Structure 1
Amino acid sequence: MNRVITETIVRYRSMPVERTPQRLDPLGVQSAWLLVPLIGVVAVGYAVYSTIAHQGQLRSPALAICAIVLLTMAVAVAAIRTHPGLAPVGLWSHLAIVGVAVASAVLFDAAVWGRNQRIQDDWGQIAVALVLTAMPLYRPVAEALATAAASALVLGALAAAQASSMAIANHPAVYAMVAATPVLALACGGAGCAWTMTGETLRWREVARAGQLRLDGELRQVAERMVAQERATALNAEAVPFLTGLLASGRITHEDRERARTIATGLRRAAVDAVGRSWLAETVDQALARRGTAEDPQRWSRVRDPDRLDRVLSDEQRAIVGALVGTVADLPGLDPSSVAIAVSVPDCPVFLLTARAEEPRRVLRSALVPFLSALQSVSMEASMRVRDGGLTVRFAYPGRRAP
């Protein structure tokens, strides 16, 4: 079993993560999601305006309408698929969104084929460029740029093929550049923004990691002093008064022997708990300490993680899980004694957080869904269920179905 746990920890802690803002800064990208539907509305609005302006050049109005419908589908799928609740955006979703947008531009070119007078006022390249602007937030920069280059190549080739019908005679390459430039320019702008965000996030992580390494020794000493203080407090609260009473009485009774055995068992259990205390148990205990549960004798049983699978969580995942636990602990209607986390399945860890909270479903979803989305952005599956006052949050590594 120990070998399985070790292999699991090594496998998941060394799992490569795509260098995208959504993966590295999921909460930050969540706040920027509204830009995607806004960009989509602008793209569709410009497409409608441009189509009306091309009314005298339309060869097939039906194709023009189909092009707008197709573009609307592309931006709708982009807005839905990039929503924080459906994170992360995968490769095929990216290709499907951009592919449908390019197809809509191709349909518009077909609608004005042979009658188009100017390339610069066509909406195809602008709409595709707007869609591509947001993609680097969700996909790697190299992939976004490659998709933009392919889109520019298609639209540039179509523009060059229409050179004979243009009002101003020029070399086909000029029309190709006119159509390709907006696509490449806006895509490069979005990629540059994403590249900067990714670089700054990685740089901040390195600084934070270096600071953590410098503080490790000091934190270890603080932890040792805290454990020693807890043991001294326990001795002063129970053992010292008991021994003082024995000295004062000058004799040992059967009740004294039972009392001594009880105190020794309690001290031994507290020492074992202190040694085996996991990061997850400490996080839950600190989060609930504000609710006045620090002296709860059952506090160490809130987390059932016999295999210490919380060690699988990366620094980013721990930060999100810690924030999730803290948010649950701060719910006004929470019953602190009901909070529990069970961790199971050593080869593919599953975390199950349960609690009872007298809060409306809408309030719970508003408070917790951002953290579930953030967990999904860092390669985990996350879900929440609210039923009869009970709250269940499940997050796990891909590969296991919810129980």
Structure 2
Amino acid sequence: MTDGAAPRTSARASVRTPQVVDPLGALAARPVTLAAGAAALLLASVQTLSRASDVSTPWAAVVALLAVAAGAVVLVVAADPVRAPFGAGAAGCVAAACAVASVLSAVSTSGSNPFVRDDWAGVVSGVLVLGLAPYRPTREIVVVGAAVATVLAVVVVVESPGFVTTVPTATYVVVAVTPLLALTAASAVFSAVYVGHVERWLARAVGFRRVSTDDLRVTLARSVQQDRVTVLNREVVPFFARLIAAGSVAEGDADEARRVAEALRASLVADADATWLSRRLEAPGQRVATEVVDPGRVADRLGSEHRTALWAFFAAVDDPSVVDARSMRLVLTGQEARVDVTIELAVASSATAARRSLSPYLTVLRLVSGDLRIDRSPSLLTLRFSYDQH
């Protein structure tokens, strides 16, 4: 069984949304999304029932509520972590549902709606637009709110001759669209401020990282030097010490010298050929047996976002409290400007349970890659995604 859509370009390369810049923050916002969908449907239902005497076309009232329900379902389903990122198409569906609900709500009370102030379309639409805040960019939220407000304004203008209060038509329009515009503004401001805050934090973090790069290079150089000294102490020094102590070269010393040289060369070559990925997964203390197949050393071309996402995923796989994994195999294949990655995770229980446990980490991988696909068999979870070479 396969989850996920066909490959597409990375979400990071298209728009900057709160969900894209901070995937875990979007996960934390899911209860708010559920509350927004439920509140919109509850508010529309209660308002419709309380104004039952004004309903002249019952079928339109029912379909209006179904439109609100459809918008709420689209909002909640599209915000599901396993479907990340929340797409522009889903936001468009929410907007369409709000517009249809606004029109049908007016149709349901046509000829018997004396006041505009008790119409629910503006408030309900605003609540659904507010639910888009953690997932879509500011400009798109403004466009969605403006489009629905335009439809609502037209509806109010058409209804205005039936209102009992004698005021300019523009006043009716302002009363109707104000809740929607206010909630749209709140949603758009949240999206803009959140993205700006996270990006400023990331900029400072990158600056600190650059400042510490020189010190890190010195530390790594010392570490490599120490590793090589350890190899010499383990292989070369004992051999030469024995030769010096013997005072002569025996018949088997040439073979021993060749063995020591080959061991030293193999150690140095292995260290030179190792990527950050192989070092991470073959470090001492790893609980899960891992095989890395990376003949082209493309793992070193991974960007910081992908490395961080993979690092978190590997840490979760190696934690028995998260998932009961038996082994993991990674295959990296370079293709022109992109690299294809396949991760096969063998689990002791079931792949479905493993996928559920790893859901937050899979969401982050989906967001940074944009094309994560998940295959499940009874005890094997296979992830496939790609990334741009840097």
Q: TM-score, normalised by structure 1?
A: 0.87
Matched, 1:290 2:290: no
SS in 2 for 1:378: helix
SS at structure 2 position matched to 1:157: helix
Give the aligned partner of residue 145 of structure 1.
142
Mapped pair 1:365 → 2:355: yes
Task: Please state how far the C-alpha of 1:254 moved relative to its aligned partner.
Answer: 4.7
> How far is the alpha carbon of 1:31 from its aligned partner?
1.5
One-letter amino acid of the counterpart of residue 303, structure 2: S
Q: Are the structure 2 counterparts of residues 292 and 57 from structure 1 closer, same or farther at C-alpha, using a change threshold of 3 Å?
A: closer
Kept in 2, the 8 Å contact 1:343–1:352? The answer is yes
The change in CA–CA distance for 1:13 and 1:246 in structure 2 (over 3 A counts) is farther
2:212 aligns to what SS in structure 1?
Answer: helix
Q: 2:310 — aligned with what?
A: 321
Residue range with higher mean Cα deviation, 81-90 or 262-271:
262-271
Task: Work out whether residues 309 and 346 of structure 1, in 8 Å CA contact, stay in contact via their aligned partners in 2.
Answer: no
CA contact (8 A) 2:12 2:20 kept: no
Aligned residue in 2 for 1:342: 331
Q: Which residue number in structure 1 is paired with residue 299 of structure 2?
A: 310
Q: Deviations over 1:314-365 (max 9, x none)?
A: 3222211110111112236444xx4332101422311122343324445422
* Greater displacement, 305-314 / 193-202: 305-314
Aligned with 2:63 (options 62, 66, 71): 66
Q: Aligned residue for 2:201?
A: 204
1:18 corresponds to which residue? 15
The residue matched to 2:296 in structure 1 has which SS? coil
**1:163·1:169 contact (CA, 8 Å) conserved in 2?**
no
Deviation at 1:148, TM superposition (A): 0.6
- Distance in 1 (CA, whole Å) between partners of 2:60 and 2:325 is 57
Query: What letter is aligned with 2:341?
Result: F
- 1:117 and 1:292 map into 2 onto residues whose CA distance is 71
Tell me the distance in 2 between the aligned counterparts of 1:292 and 1:78: 40
- Identify which of 43, 48, 51 aligns with 1:51: 48
Of 275, 278, 282, which residue of structure 2 is paired with 1:278?
Answer: 275
Q: What's the % identity of the aligned pairs?
A: 26
Contact 1:163 1:171 in 2 (8 A): no
Is the contact made by 2:350 and 2:380 (CA closer than 8 Å) also made in structure 1?
Answer: no
- Aligned-partner SS, 1:34: helix
Q: 1:380 aligns with which of 357, 361, 370?
A: 370
Q: What SS does structure 1 have at the residue aligned with 2:82?
A: helix
Distance 2:95 2:10 in 1: 33
Q: For residues 229 and 244 of structure 2, what CA distance do their matches in structure 1 show?
A: 20
Q: Which residue of 2 is the match for residue 161 of structure 1?
A: 158
Q: What SS does the corresponding residue of 2:341 show, helix, strand or coil?
A: strand
- Cα distance in structure 2, aligned partners of 1:324 and 1:39: 31
Tell me the matched-pair count.
Answer: 377
What's the counterpart of residue 85 of structure 1? Answer: 82
1:109 equivalent in structure 2: 106
Contact 1:36–1:79 (Cα < 8 Å) also in 2:
yes
- TM superposition shift of 1:311: 4.2
Residues 322 and 172 of structure 1, relative CA distance in 2, 3 Å threshold: same
Going from structure 1 to structure 2, the CA distance change for 1:388 and 1:262 (only over 3 Å counts) comes to farther
Question: 8 Å contact 1:353–1:393 — kept in the other structure?
Answer: yes
The 8 Å contact of residues 29 and 134 in structure 2, kept in 1 or not, is answered as no
Q: Distance in 2 between matches of 1:232 and 1:390?
A: 42
Q: What corresponds to 1:236 in structure 2?
A: 233
State the distance in 1 between where 2:185 and 2:369 align: 27
Q: Distance in 2 between matches of 1:379 and 1:172?
A: 50
Distance change >3 Å, CA 267–CA 205, structure 1 → 2: same
Q: Which amino acid aligns with 2:19?
A: Q
Deviations 1:288-334 (A, max 9, x none): x33379xx9xx8xx322222323443322221111011111223644
SS of match in other structure, 2:332 = strand
Distance 1:91 1:292 in 2: 41
What is the rounded CA distance, in whole Å, between the counterparts of 2:303 and 2:267 in structure 1?
A: 28
Task: Out of 260-269 and 222-231, give the one that drifted further.
Answer: 260-269
Offset of 1:186 from its aligned partner?
Answer: 0.5
CA spacing shift, 1:312–1:244, aligned 2, 3 Å? closer
Could you tell me whether the CA contact under 8 Å between 2:11 and 2:85 is conserved in 1?
no
Aligned to 2:5: none
Gaps of 5+ in 1: 1-11, 399-403
Equivalent-residue separation in structure 2 for 1:87 and 1:74 (angstroms)? 18
Residues 57-66 or 352-361, more deviating? 352-361
